[in-house]
């Protein structure tokens, strides 16, 4: 793999392939999470909140602006300063981030902050639903058809900083758990998981459909087994565990966002349908308490849990 080609190569990618290339990075996820949760908008804000190096932060913010997720906005504070505002496209990632939080709360066994639903006043405990029939939706009751050109391969070489843990920094209440970071914070991992949702089971099939180096694939499969996302079967196949299958909630929003927001060649899309009602994928987060769809402006996280105990 040459690692060159940049824009030209990217234009050939399916929308999902592009989304994985943009979002499959732990720093990007943390930058976005802080933007939504803590309303951080400035370079200094992220640097202080994340303990991230200035060069890495500058690169990630530049890329997020190029991909139309943030826009630079000037304001006066004695002199002209700039802040990064989420665009409409960026704001649309809200549901994806809530889905990650929801999966972690259900499966990572951590005391995460509740997400309060303003409409009913209850802890929403969101679950994935179908926007058409409003019934729950899982990986098992969806059907996926790949377009003739649908491919996740050629997503470009992974970033070199993958899977580094900040030494000496304790995870705080809003940090992602290691499992989500390993699944989503690395583009090859996310790609392997996406292929599993599409029914890929065997090493050779992952390898041929993704064009992934055997050593990289071996490493990701081993980690997914350790993380209880995949189950290694005696026949050599890898099956999603219940924990892995539940990650479909996150995957559904990734696919939905990618295919709505990112231009891609014709024939490269995935057509996912909700089998019980036959409607095309239209994921929504539903409130466990009142069963209504959650909207961005109608929920809030309770972040002061530690302070109130």
**What's the rounded Cα separation, in Å, for the pair 176 and 185?**
10
By the rule CB under 5 A, 277 interacts with Zn ion: yes
Residue among 196 and 287 whose Cβ is closer to Zn ion = 287
By the rule CB under 5 A, 272 interacts with Zn ion: no
By the rule CB under 5 A, 138 interacts with Zn ion: no
Q: Which of residues 231-270 bind Zn ion (CB under 5 A)?
A: none
By the rule CB under 5 A, 289 interacts with Zn ion: yes
By the rule CB under 5 A, 290 interacts with Zn ion: yes
Residue among 128 and 193 whose Cβ is closer to Zn ion = 128
By the rule CB under 5 A, 286 interacts with Zn ion: no
Residue among 178 and 276 whose Cβ is closer to Zn ion = 276
> Are the C-beta atoms of 262 and 19 separated by less than 8 Å?
yes
**Least CB distance from residue 147 to Zn ion, whole Å?**
21
User: Among residues 57, 108, 133, 217, which is the contact residue for Zn ion, using CB under 5 A?
Assistant: 133
By the rule CB under 5 A, 116 interacts with Zn ion: no
> Are the C-beta atoms of 224 and 244 separated by less than 8 Å?
yes
By the rule CB under 5 A, 117 interacts with Zn ion: yes
**What's the rounded Cα separation, in Å, for the pair 162 and 182?**
9
Among the listed residues 34, 8, 32, 10, the one whose alpha carbon sits nearest the alpha carbon of residue 21? 10
For residue 113, give both structure tokens. Answer: 């902050």
Residue among 52 and 120 whose Cβ is closer to Zn ion = 120
Residue among 122 and 175 whose Cβ is closer to Zn ion = 122
Q: Which stretch binds Zn ion (CB under 5 A): 156-164, 169-177, 222-230, 276-284?
A: 276-284
Q: Which stretch binds Zn ion (CB under 5 A): 25-33, 109-117, 152-160, 221-229?
A: 109-117
Number of residues that bind Zn ion (CB under 5 A): 11
**Least CB distance from residue 256 to Zn ion, whole Å?**
14
By the rule CB under 5 A, 130 interacts with Zn ion: yes
> Are the C-beta atoms of 152 and 264 separated by less than 8 Å?
no
User: Among residues 120, 173, 217, 245, which is the contact residue for Zn ion, using CB under 5 A?
Assistant: 120
Residue among 27 and 253 whose Cβ is closer to Zn ion = 253
Give contact residues for Zn ion (rule: CB under 5 A): 117, 120, 130, 132-133, 274, 277, 279, 287, 289-290
């Amino acid at each position: 793999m040459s690692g060159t080609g940049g824009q030209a190569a990217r234009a050939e990618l399916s929308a999902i392939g592009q989304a994985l290339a943009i979002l499959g990075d732990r720093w990007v996820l943390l930058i976005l999470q802080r933007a939504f949760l803590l309303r951080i908008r400035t370079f200094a804000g992220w640097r202080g909140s994340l303990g991230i190096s200035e060069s890495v932060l500058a690169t990630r913010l530049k890329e997020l602006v190029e991909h139309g997720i943030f826009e630079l906005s000037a304001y006066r504070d004695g002199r002209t300063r700039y802040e990064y505002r989420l665009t409409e496209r960026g704001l649309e990632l809200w549901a994806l981030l809530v889905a990650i939080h929801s999966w972690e709360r259900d499966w990572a066994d951590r005391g995460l902050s509740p997400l309060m639903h303003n409409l009913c006043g209850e802890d929403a405990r969101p679950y994935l639903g179908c926007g058409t029939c409003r019934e729950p939706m899982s990986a098992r009751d969806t059907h996926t058809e790949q377009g003739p050109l649908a491919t996740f391969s050629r997503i470009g070489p992974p970033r070199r900083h993958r899977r580094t843990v900040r030494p000496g920094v304790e995870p705080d209440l809003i940090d992602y758990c290691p499992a989500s970071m390993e699944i989503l914070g690395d583009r090859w991992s996310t790609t392997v998981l996406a292929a599993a949702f599409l029914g890929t089971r065997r090493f050779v099939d992952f390898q041929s459909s993704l064009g992934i180096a055997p050593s990289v694939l071996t490493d990701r499969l081993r980690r997914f087994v350790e993380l209880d996302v995949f189950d290694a079967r005696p026949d050599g196949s890898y099956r999603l565990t219940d924990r892995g299958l539940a990650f479909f909630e996150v995957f559904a929003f990734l696919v939905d966002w990618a295919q709505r927001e990112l231009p891609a060649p014709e024939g490269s899309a995935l057509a996912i349908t909700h089998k019980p009602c036959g409607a095309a994928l239209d994921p929504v987060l539903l409130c466990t308490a009142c069963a209504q769809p959650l909207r961005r402006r109608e929920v809030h996280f309770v972040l002061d849990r530690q302070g109130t105990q």
